Structure 1
Amino acid sequence: MNPKSTQPPLGIIEGFYGPPWTWEEREAVVRRLAPHGYGFYWYAPKSDPFLRRRWNELHPRTEAENLSHFAGYCENLGIGFGVGLSPYEIYRSFDANAKQLLKDKLAHLRDLGVNRLALLFDDMPGDLPKLAERQAEVVDWVQAEGRFKHLAVCPTYYTWDPVLDRVFTPRPAGYLKRLGELLHDDIDVFWTGEEVCSRAISPGHVRAIREELGRPVLLWDNYPVNDGDRMSQHLHLRGFTGRPASLAGQVRGHAINPALQPTLTCIAAITLAESYRLGDDYCYMAATRKAATEVLGTRLGSQVCDDILLLEDAGLRRLSSEKQKILRERYGRINHAGAREILNWLDGRYQVTDEMVQTQ
């Protein structure tokens, strides 16, 4: 008998660039995934300016009401809801004015029913002395002031991938180890693996990061996310691979950054739960077909799996106009949210431009 592993806490971290999901789509995703063990949801879309570039402003009334409603919706399903806040480079000058602005923001989020917070320092330059100390100062202050049930942090350097050093300046020596030493033990730290979008996340790598941080990591898994100019040309439909079930006992939780297509993202999400449930018995393509049938129904699910070479591997730029026409006709005959997402993808409505990435 092949060994089975206990499933770690699973969740969604909505942290992609590009066109956001609707609130109705978010509700549909959590309804679909809750029965598969998805127990937490971090709301952190790059397109929400009031969590990023305009973090020091409060959400307008309508958006605030929607956020509050969704927080309650998740909690009623037994799903822990949190918000990812990116106070842009606040660690450069964490003075009295910055603290007051942050205090007002935290109070605003609490009033909306948000009782879990992630401080996200990703995609920010790290070119200043004592980066870990400065960021830890902000986190300590928020922990004391914010009174949140759960606090998590995404470091500026959240992977060993050297692309971060090229884009956001070279990381300070010993940054991650020092940050782990300074943060309180009950604060979770996000980590994406050996790369920003890791092909695999091995137990050996997770053990090494755990030793460096002095705590288990909270995985921020950048699959099936498909933002960015290149990835948005492809639908990410295949089941998870390279995430062995033995990770379960080594991480605080496993959060996936979803695809731009909310219905289709559930296919891969369900396979992650299956991979933990089945352990060595997991077969990723069989799991993909099973999940596609659950999410899309027998007919559409089978068709999507049959077309996976076109939808996931070839992508829009390699599809001839004739092939695109065939796909439009094929999926245009099916009245289902998943089919409509494929049609919108074919029409370029999910395209993520470099400008979006630079300005969101």
Structure 2
Amino acid sequence: MAQHIPLGVIEGFFGRSWSWQQRTDLASFLQQAGYSYYLYAPKSDDRLRSRWRQDWSQSEWANLTTLRDHYRAAGIEFGIGLSPLDLCTPEGQTDSAGLHAKIARINQLQPDILALLFDDMRGDIPQLASIQVQLAHQAAEHSSARKIILCPTYYSDDPVLEKVFGTRPADYWEALGRQLDLSIDIFWTGPNVCTEHFSGSHLRDVAERLGRPPFLWDNYPVNDGAVKSQHLYLHPFAADRAKIQDLVAGHAVNPMNQYQLSKLALASLPYAYRDPGYNPKRLFNELIRELCPANVGDALQQDAELFATTGLAGITSERRHLLTARYRRLGQQSAMATEVADWLEGEYTFDPACLTD
């Protein structure tokens, strides 16, 4: 079955950020792997979030411009994810000028995609769907991007969203679907914020609610939460990803804080979409050989299940010490091994304070 929907990576995680060099290097990796776009939306960039009205510094703007140029040269579409965190509140709704000014600045990057992200903000606001539709339509009117994607405040059926962001307004998803222009896609993470498996029945139900097929925001292999930061997810995407392409408008992957280690999972998704015989277990063996030096690959194959299921909290201090020593030695051959050793030593420990940045 041939791939026919856009596949991409959205850098949208909390915690330790990727470097500009890593973001730049990702362009060639995505091109070789079979992805078509990249969305720049790191939680650490406050000019896209808490201080979204403010401009980037000269050096940050230069980095963004260079990043855009690398993706364009690689034939990968470049996108920006804007999170105007207060714009849905009664105080913020009058600031359409601020939104238009920010989009005008983003237009200077000539992005192919603009994502308007309303996640991570209070949602118990009257007429929330209508407010967000109005803002999305304004964004579409003022943006030069060819594609607009909206992330709702409630982007999953997961009850944790109402626990954190307040009670979801009645008829929220249906109102979005009715009012939002059909040219604008809607992100969806599945039945859970971090969904392990997607079913056809769930995706068809969501499409009915949203009035269009959902654009998947896939929170695998991301590991930025208090619990998930205790784990590394190296295995390929599950076999269900090979069965959903007729039910989604697109697929965006949110990777791990560990840039190099993310490549193992990232490399697998295009296979799922183009290979009718997609076999994650067999593919993992192939990707290990392709992406890792032999000794490093052997170690990761041996420890991948331990890292994914047991995690740091379940590994004894003695075993952690032995594993750290092993991966420090292997780090002389591979940056992947260095990332494992750093993780084992707590250098990726999740800081809840980053949620408020």
Letter in 2 for 1:108: R
SS at match of 1:255: strand
Encode CA deviations 1:219-247: one digit per residue, 9 max, x unaligned.
00000000011111111111111534231
Identity %: 39
**2:292 is equivalent to residue 304 of structure 1:** no
Aligned ranges 1:178-327 → 2 under 5 Å: 178-241=175-238, 243-279=240-276, 281-327=277-323
**How many Å separate the matches in 2 of 1:54 and 1:255?**
25
Encode CA deviations 1:275-303: one digit per residue, 9 max, x unaligned.
22223x22222212211222223331222
Higher relative contact order (CA 8 A, sep 6+): 1
**How many Å separate the matches in 2 of 1:291 and 1:96?**
48
* Larger mean Cα displacement after TM superposition, 269-278 or 76-85: 269-278
Among 335, 343, 346, the residue aligned to 1:345: 343
**How many Å separate the matches in 1 of 2:144 and 2:270?**
32
In the alignment, is the contact (CA less than 8 A) between 2:18 and 2:257 conserved in 1?
yes
**How many Å separate the matches in 1 of 2:117 and 2:64?**
19
Instruction: Give the Å deviation of 1:312.
Output: 2.0
Among 349, 352, 355, the residue aligned to 1:354: 352
Where does residue 149 of structure 1 map in the other structure?
146
Encode CA deviations 1:309-339: one digit per residue, 9 max, x unaligned.
3322221122222212211221122221111
Where does residue 22 of structure 2 map in the other structure?
25
Count of aligned pairs: 355
Instruction: Give the Å deviation of 1:260.
Output: 0.7
Structure 2 residue ranges without an equivalent (≥5)? none
**How many Å separate the matches in 1 of 2:249 and 2:2?**
15
Letter in 2 for 1:349: E
**How many Å separate the matches in 2 of 1:323 and 1:133?**
54
In the alignment, is the contact (CA less than 8 A) between 1:241 and 1:284 conserved in 2?
yes
Letter in 1 for 2:204: R
Encode CA deviations 1:181-209: one digit per residue, 9 max, x unaligned.
11111111100011000011112211111
SS at match of 2:244: helix
In the alignment, is the contact (CA less than 8 A) between 2:78 and 2:113 conserved in 1?
yes
Among 30, 42, 51, the residue aligned to 1:45: 42
**How many Å separate the matches in 1 of 2:297 and 2:13?**
25
SS at match of 1:189: strand
Q: Give the TM-score, by structure 1 length.
A: 0.94
**How many Å separate the matches in 2 of 1:93 and 1:68?**
34
Encode CA deviations 1:148-182: one digit per residue, 9 max, x unaligned.
22111000110111111111111111111111111
